[in-house]
Amino acid sequence: MHILITGGTGFIGSKLAEHFLSQKHKVTILSRMGKVILPGTNIITNLEDIKSKIDIVINLAGEPLDKNRWNDEVKNEIYNSRINTTKKLVDYINNSKTPPSLLISCSAVGYYGSSDTKTYIEKDPSPQNDFPSKLCFDWEKEAYKVNNNTRICIIRLGIVLGKNGGALSKMLLPFKLCLGARLGNGEQYMSWIHIDDVIGAIDFLINSKDSHGPYNLTSPNPVSNSEFTKILSRSLSRISFLYLPAFLLKLLFGEIATKLLLKSQKVYPEKLINEGYHFHYSTLETALQNIVKK
């Protein structure tokens, strides 16, 4: 197949590209960088540069949420990087004489808002009452404008864990120095997923022709921040006794602290499991053992 990946030079996109190349698929990456990062891929900077039929589109494009402290300008940049790219992509697909059979478009568990008690599944609505939930709702809404000739799956990602990238790469050094800390009271739930299961779930959705609509890409076993801190420390054979109080996190990170770091999201991948996907790493212990001991 010929697979187009937007945001293909990021942590998830580059791992996906490597995976598809190993399966002998042709991979084209839409990137502003315009240079080959992974040998074997074709890099384009504009959709107009596509010269042959695309079979599958995987849309991962978007500025990192934690790139800078949030203000109106930063939030507009984050929002527009997702909405505008998705709009252009959908327009390209809808105007194509030979549209791709499948669009897999990224979203995130931020779609659900926050709750200390509720377990979110795919049918739950978005409250759209803060920046992450409004962002994800509008992002998905734009993707759903694709015409009926193209099957669409929305992947709502949790915290993606893997080696040499993603959220975990920023945590490892302080934890290795026994400086890993619980965030706030540590009771907030973290919905996570191993990078191998991101790739596995996307493969599953490609091959499952009846799969359609939103899917939670999270482990079936989310953990509290306190549990995450203990398990990661144990995986590294380190101790963890520190904590960062909520007021300090808010002082250091502003809105990112309240909307991301201290937010509780207990998310369950109901549709994936009901449709037959089997997780490679369903518990945090096995996931971290695989990553930190490679």
pLDDT of residue 264: 95
pLDDT of residue 33: 67
d(CA 126, CA 146): 21
Residue with tokens 């290795």: 176
pLDDT of residue 145: 97
**Cβ atoms 142, 90 nearer than 8 A:** yes
pLDDT of residue 236: 92
**Cβ atoms 111, 82 nearer than 8 A:** no
pLDDT of residue 137: 98
pLDDT digits (tens, 9 = 90+) for 250-274: 998 999 999 999 999 999 999 999 9
Q: Which helix (H) or strand (E) holds 194?
A: strand 192-194
pLDDT digits (tens, 9 = 90+) for 26-41: 999 998 765 566 778 8
pLDDT band at 170 (very low <50, low <70, confident <90, very high): confident
List all residues 6 or more positions away from 176 whose beta carbon is below 8 Å from its beta carbon: 236, 238
pLDDT of residue 245: 92
pLDDT of residue 67: 83
Rounded mean pLDDT of 99-125?
A: 96
Beta strand 223-224 with 189-190: parallel, antiparallel or unpaired? antiparallel
Residue with tokens 């190993």: 22
pLDDT of residue 35: 58
Start-to-end C-alpha separation, the chain: 31
Rounded mean pLDDT of 155-165?
A: 94
pLDDT of residue 107: 97
DSSP state of 1: -
pLDDT of residue 294: 52
- Give, to the nearest 10 degrees, the angle between helix 195-207 and helix 11-22: 60
Higher pLDDT, 165 or 146: 146
Task: Say yes or no to pLDDT of 178 above 90.
Answer: no
Task: Say yes or no to pLDDT of 111 above 80.
Answer: yes
Residue with tokens 């194509």: 96
Share of the chain above pLDDT 70, in %: 98
Residue with tokens 């949420």: 65
pLDDT of residue 99: 95
In this structure, what token pair is assigned to residue 229?
A: 């801190």
**Cβ atoms 226, 182 nearer than 8 A:** yes
Beta bridge partners of 56: 3, 102
d(CA 206, CA 201): 9
pLDDT digits (tens, 9 = 90+) for 190-205: 999 999 999 999 999 9
Q: Which conformational region is residue 290 in: left (phi greater than 0), alpha (psi within -120 to 50 degrees), or beta?
A: alpha
Whole-number mean pLDDT of the chain?
93
Q: Is domain 2-292 classified as CATH 3.40.50.720?
A: yes
- Cα angle value 26/140/212 (rounded, 5°): 65
Higher pLDDT, 168 or 106: 106
